[in-house]
């Protein structure tokens, strides 16, 4: 087990009817920027619950944060906070809105040249506006971690950043918020969280026995609830386990003391930037082919995954490892998620070369837990997804 | 899944050689009460590492905190803090020393009549002296939770208490500290943490799929490492997984959203109070007989435990459940831990009646997840341990 430092101070308030508890968590004299996305919260009742909980607190709304939150849009919110002298952010939404809140929180008092440097140059932040969240879409885990991914439309860039100052103070997780979500978004949530675990688990064998079991616990749970939660999001047992699994998949716990990969995400981000494919679906496209391409270095862990998550007891180590990849891809299909780039765009020719070029231009010599997946490997992996 | 609120702000610094990091965690102007136990830290090098990390900080030592930390002793430390105007506590020890630090932290500025009321009457505390820990004995999980158990010799009382103000600010977990521990203490740590999980898991079937898997993860890990860590505590793989399992067993995570029992602990505490038997060993004595006595209400969960932790696939639900109890008891034996009260004292006759009386006098109508284990049941359970 590698050495690690772990601290996660976010307060989780979990359960049906818990949005009302916001009134105990946000200071009564807070001047709030309330951030949300496309406005579905005004149709499904979440907006009304939040407003009732906040009572007479000063509040300015900022709606319209897009999926893959964009720098240009978020900078408008930064200006609004300064202009209105607001001092608290409440993100009501999924990962995009929460990630956006983190960037805004970091950018408001940024002392450097321009806040873009936080993303492009990894400039450290020294203070952040306090914020809390009401999660409306389980998937990214952003509600209990301190990282975010932000895009810039003008340059087709997508950068991640983070800071210990960017944990939400409080996150409300009410599993009934998923009642009105489209099946597409529910499936995305299952695939996204599943891949978060795989990125922290499918590397090389380590001495972290407990972390492996924890990772497998989340995978097992997502396999058990995935199809059912999409079929009937009003099944509270399925919804609550789905929601808590998404949070636990990326709140840092299972990453402690182990190597992590994140190559599937790195390549997937490029597909979103180029074609606007849903983030989770890019992971379903890239993942299986990535594991085939890195088979030799990952096969021991793939076989362990086969045995413990998919109950595959028969066959050689290689057989089990291959079956694990097949099972993973079939799982995505069972959720209604396609796994070929050509399922999403007819324009896929040349994608591999384009992305190889982007990786090379950034000077990335290699990605993955061994930094061994080169731009040329990325090209081969993407070709295999056609 | 039940509604829950979860926040655990303790910073964990985990790994070999990490005690030196104390220098970054404790304010340089802190005036420290350093709390420890019997003085083994002066023989095994931990004391020297701590002193080197603390450098020139003001420090007053308070050694001699006994196992099952005693109110009378801890109150001496409370007086010392007031007299010397100290403002920080560093606990260097196992669960007893850390639990003691929590009580001292709560008692120093207690405004009520006498600090004993925090324990006996459950009086709420409103402030606490900040404290950190260097764990020297993995077992209780106190290094990452906000609860403690304190004894009073004069009345043979043993009370638990807790407060959100009593999370350690930082806990250093260096798995090499176990190198010099006696086998008896290592075995106690395995049994103690194993029972912490069982108390939060062996209840009735719930909808918390993920929490069940997490609990099983810790149990599986302890089964895998238990004998080996006792055999060779210098095996870092075993030591690190043992240490992290003990912390995760009682840092609150697996208890969220599920019923908990704690009946085995409640009865076990009485055996420690009466005979001074090591806490963990009282759990090994009581646990198997407790599960036999509550078999009907626990058998579904016992069978699940049999299947998932002990890989028992054959037999009826009742058969599996019974085998799970046998496996648990055999596991304790494999660690060198006896499971009969008569293994620890020749004076056991009448114990059942004595403890029944103590339970009745406290007005406890029932313990366990269903509050259905009456003082009379407790008597029967203890008789079965003879």
A257 touches chain B (CB under 8 A): yes
Q: How many C-beta atoms lie closer than 10 Å to residue A8's C-beta?
A: 19
Region for residue B65 given its phi and psi (left: phi exceeds 0; alpha: psi -120 to 50; beta: otherwise):
beta
For residue A24, what pLDDT is reported? 97
Q: CA B226 from chain center: how many Å?
A: 17
> Angle formed by the axes of helices B209-231 and B317-334, to 10°?
30
Residues in chain B: 386
Strand partners, A60: A33
Residues of chain B with pLDDT under 50: none
Instruction: Compute the nearest-CA separation of A8 from chain B (Å).
Output: 6
Q: CA B152 from chain center: how many Å?
A: 18
**Residues whose CB is less than 8 angstroms from the CB of residue B124 and which lie 6 or more positions away in sequence, other chains included:** B163
H or E element that contains A153:
none
Q: Going by DSSP bridges, is the β-strand pair A157-162/A147-152 parallel, antiparallel, or unpaired? A: antiparallel
Name which of B13, B14, B209, B250 to mutate to probe chain A: the one with the most chain A Cβ atoms within 10 A of its Cβ. Answer: B209
Where do the DSSP E strands lie in A71-146?
A: 88-93, 131-135
Instruction: Compute the nearest-CA separation of B209 from chain A (Å).
Output: 6
A329: nearest Cα among A320, A321, A319, A339? A339
| Tokens linked to B159 | 């009370």
Instruction: Compute the nearest-CA separation of B108 from chain A (Å).
Output: 25
Q: Is the pLDDT of residue A364 over 90?
A: no
B95: nearest Cα among B247, B244, B217, B266? B247
| Tokens linked to A112 | 């450097």
Name the residue facing B12 among A2, A6, A216 (closest C-beta).
A6
A245: nearest Cα among A19, B9, A237? A237
Instruction: Compute the nearest-CA separation of A144 from chain B (Å).
Output: 10
Q: How far is Cα A155 from Cα A157, in angstroms, rounded to an integer?
A: 5
A370 touches chain B (CB under 8 A): no
Name which of A2, A210, A309 to mutate to probe chain B: the one with the most chain B Cβ atoms within 10 A of its Cβ. Answer: A210
Contact (CB<8Å) A245/B210 = yes
Q: How far is Cα A80 from Cα A329, in angstroms, rounded to an integer?
A: 44
Do A189 and A168 contact (CB within 8 A), yes or no? no
Continuous H helices in A232-365: 236-249, 263-275, 279-293, 295-309, 317-334, 351-361
Contact (CB<8Å) A14/B208 = no
Q: How far is Cα A3 from Cα A22, in angstroms, rounded to an integer?
A: 36
Name the residue facing A241 among B9, B209, B237 (closest C-beta).
B209
For residue A15, what pLDDT is reported? 98
Identify the residue whose tokens are 């977990």: B173
Chains A, B: CB contacts within 8 A come to 125
Name the residue facing A221 among B13, B209, B218 (closest C-beta).
B209
> Can you tell me the mean pLDDT for A343-365?
92
User: Closest chain A residue to B207 measured between Cα atoms?
Assistant: A237
Which 188-217 residues of chain A touch chain B by CB within 8 A? 207-211, 213-214, 216-217
**Buried-exposed string A88-100: b where 16+ CB fall within 10 A, e elsewhere:** bbbbbbbbbbbbb
For residue A153, what pLDDT is reported? 82
Q: How far is Cα B354 from Cα B274, in angstroms, rounded to an integer?
A: 9
Domains (ranges, CATH) in chain B?
Answer: 11-176 (3.40.50.1970), 181-384 (1.20.1090.10)
H or E element that contains A66:
none
From residue B11, alpha-carbon distances to A142, B51, B96, B173 in Å are: 20, 20, 20, 10
User: Closest chain B residue to A206 measured between Cα atoms?
Assistant: B237
Region for residue A141 given its phi and psi (left: phi exceeds 0; alpha: psi -120 to 50; beta: otherwise):
left
For residue A373, what pLDDT is reported? 96
Q: How far is Cα B20 from Cα B51, in angstroms, rounded to an integer?
A: 9
The confidence band for A156, taking pLDDT boundaries of 50, 70 and 90, is confident
Name which of B213, B248, B307, B313 to mutate to probe chain A: the one with the most chain A Cβ atoms within 10 A of its Cβ. Answer: B213
| Tokens linked to B255 | 């208890």
User: Closest chain A residue to B15 measured between Cα atoms?
Assistant: A3
Which value, to the nearest 10 degrees, does the dihedral of the CA atoms of residues A318, A319, A322, A324 take? -110
> Can you tell me the mean pLDDT for A193-202?
98
Contact (CB<8Å) A1/B240 = yes
User: Closest chain A residue to B9 measured between Cα atoms?
Assistant: A9
For residue B170, what pLDDT is reported? 98
Half-sphere exposure of B80 (CA within 13 A, CB side): 21
| Tokens linked to A315 | 């066959």
CA angle B144-B146-B147, nearest 5°?
115
Name the residue facing A217 among B11, B13, B213 (closest C-beta).
B213
Residues in chain A: 386
Q: How far is Cα A310 from Cα B61, in angstroms, rounded to an integer?
A: 54
B164 touches chain A (CB under 8 A): no
Q: How far is Cα A47 from Cα A43, in angstroms, rounded to an integer?
A: 8
Contact (CB<8Å) A225/B244 = no
Q: How far is Cα A241 from Cα A249, in angstroms, rounded to an integer?
A: 12
Name the residue facing A11 among B5, B10, B12 (closest C-beta).
B5
Q: What is the pLDDT of residues B151-206, one digit of tens each?
A: 988 887 888 999 999 999 999 999 999 999 999 999 999 999 999 999 999 999 99
Q: What is the mean pLDDT of chain A?
A: 96
Q: Give the end-to-end CA distance of chain B in Å, rounded to a whole number.
A: 38
B73: nearest Cα among B39, B100, B91? B100
Q: How far is Cα A99 from Cα A91, in angstroms, rounded to an integer?
A: 9
Q: What is the pLDDT of residues A290-329, one digit of tens each?
A: 999 999 999 999 999 999 999 999 999 999 999 999 999 9
Is residue B265 classed exposed, middle or buried when 0-12, 13-18 and 19+ CB atoms within 10 A define those classes?
buried
- The dihedrals phi and psi of A44, each to the nearest 5 degrees, come to -95, 5
From residue A198, alpha-carbon distances to A224, B36, B214 in Å are: 16, 42, 17
Q: How far is Cα B365 from Cα B373, in angstroms, rounded to an integer?
A: 8
> Can you tell me the mean pLDDT for A141-149?
97
Q: How far is Cα B249 from Cα B259, in angstroms, rounded to an integer?
A: 15
Q: Using H for helix, E for strand and C for coil, what is the string for chain B?
A: CCCEEEEEEEEEEECCCHHHHHHHHCCCCCEEEEEECCCHHHCCCHHHHHHHHHCCCEEEEECCCCCCCEHHHHHHHHHHHHHHCCCEEEEEECHHHHHHHHHHHHHCCCCCCCCHHHHHCCCCCCCCCCEEEEECCCCCCHHHCCEEEEEEHHHCEEEEEECHHHCCCEEEECHHHHHHCCHHHHHHHHHHHHHHHHHHHCCCCCCCHHHHHHHHHHHHHHHHHHHHHHHCCCCHHHHHHHHHHHHHHCCCHHHCCCCCCCHHHHHHHHHHHHHCCCHHHHHHHHHHHHHHHCHHHHHHHHHHHHHHHHCCCCCCHHHHHHHHHHHHHHHHHHCCCCCCHHHCCCCCCCHHHHHHHHHHHCCCCCECCCCCECHHHHHHHHHHCC
Q: Going by DSSP bridges, is the β-strand pair B157-162/B147-152 parallel, antiparallel, or unpaired? A: antiparallel
Q: Going by DSSP bridges, is the β-strand pair B4-14/B31-36 parallel, antiparallel, or unpaired? A: unpaired
Q: How far is Cα B256 from Cα B212, in angstroms, rounded to an integer?
A: 11
For residue B241, what pLDDT is reported? 98
- The DSSP symbol for A19 reads G
Which residues of chain A are within 8 Å of residue B146 when distances are taken between CB atoms?
none
ipTM: 0.97
Q: What is the pLDDT of residues A53-62, one digit of tens each?
A: 999 999 999 9
Identify the residue whose tokens are 């996150």: A171
Q: How many C-beta atoms lie closer than 10 Å to residue A223's C-beta?
A: 17
A99: nearest Cα among A111, A91, A110? A91
Q: How many C-beta atoms lie closer than 10 Å to residue A155's C-beta?
A: 11
């Amino acid at each position: 087990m590698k050495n690690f430092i772990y601290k996660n101070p976010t307060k989780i308030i979990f359960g049906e009817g818990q949005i009302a508890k916001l009134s105990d968590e946000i200071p009564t004299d807070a001047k709030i920027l309330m951030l949300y996305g496309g406005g579905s919260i005004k149709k499904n009742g979440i907006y009304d619950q939040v407003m009732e909980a906040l009572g007479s607190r000063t509040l300015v709304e900022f709606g319209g944060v897009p999926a893959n939150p964009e720098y240009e849009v978020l900078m408008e919110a930064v200006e609004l906070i300064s202009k209105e002298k607001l001092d608290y952010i409440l993100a009501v939404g999924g990962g995009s809105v929460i990630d956006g809140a983190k960037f805004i929180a970091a950018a408001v008092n940024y002392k450097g040249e321009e806040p873009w440097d936080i993303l492009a140059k990894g400039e450290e932040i020294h203070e952040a506006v306090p914020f809390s969240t009401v999660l409306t879409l389980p998937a990214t885990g952003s509600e209990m971690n301190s990282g975010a991914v932000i895009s810039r439309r003008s340059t087709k860039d997508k950068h991640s950043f983070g800071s210990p100052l960017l944990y939400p103070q409080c996150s409300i997780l009410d599993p009934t918020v998923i009642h009105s979500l489209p099946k597409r978004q529910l499936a995305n949530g299952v695939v996204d969280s599943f891949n978060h675990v795989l990125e922290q688990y499918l590397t090389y064998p380590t001495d972290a026995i407990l972390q492996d079991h924890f990772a497998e616990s989340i995978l097992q749970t997502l396999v058990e609830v995935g199809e059912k939660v999409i079929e009937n999001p009003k099944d509270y047992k399925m919804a609550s386990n789905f929601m808590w699994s998404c949070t636990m998949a990326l709140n840092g716990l299972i990453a402690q003391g182990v190597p992590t990969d994140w190559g599937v995400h790195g390549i997937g981000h490029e597909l979103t930037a180029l074609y606007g494919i849903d983030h989770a679906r890019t992971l379903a496209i890239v993942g299986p082919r990535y594991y085939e391409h890195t088979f030799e270095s990952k096969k021991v862990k793939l076989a362990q995954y086969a045995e413990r998550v998919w109950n595959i007891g028969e066959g050689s180590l290689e057989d089990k490892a291959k079956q694990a990849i097949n099972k993973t891809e079939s799982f995505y299909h069972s959720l209604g998620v396609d796994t070929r780039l050509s399922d999403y765009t007819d324009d896929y020719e040349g994608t591999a070369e384009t992305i190889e070029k982007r990786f090379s231009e950034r000077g990335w010599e290699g990605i993955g837990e061994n930094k061994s997946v080169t731009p040329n490997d990325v090209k081969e992996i993407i070709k295999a997804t056609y």
